[in-house]
Amino acid sequence: MKIQEMRGLSADELEARIKEWQEELFRARCEQTIGQLGNTDKLRGLRRIIARAHTIINELRSSEKSANA
C-alpha cells in the first residue's frame, strides 16, 4: 500500500490494517523460523509498512490536537 492510499484512510481504518499486517508479519516470522519463507525481504517490507502507518496515525492525531487548540 502506498503512502497516498494510507493518507486517504481514517485512523481507525489504519489501526485495523496495522493489526492485519502484524498478523501477516507474525506468520512470515514463523515461516522463516521453519525455513519456508522464500522471500526474506517480506519481513523488512512489512515492518516498514507498519511504521509508515503508525507515522500517519501520529500525524493525524497531532493535526487534530492543533485544530482543537
Per-residue model confidence (pLDDT) at position 59: 93
User: By CB neighbour count within 10 A (0-12 exposed, 13-18 middle, 19+ buried), where does 50 fall?
Assistant: middle
Per-residue model confidence (pLDDT) at position 64: 84
Under CATH, what is the fold of the domain 3-68? Helix Hairpins (1.10.287)
Of 63, 13, 21, whose CA–CA distance to 5 is shortest? 13
Which parts of the chain have pLDDT scores under 50? none
pTM above 0.75, yes or no: yes
Per-residue model confidence (pLDDT) at position 67: 84
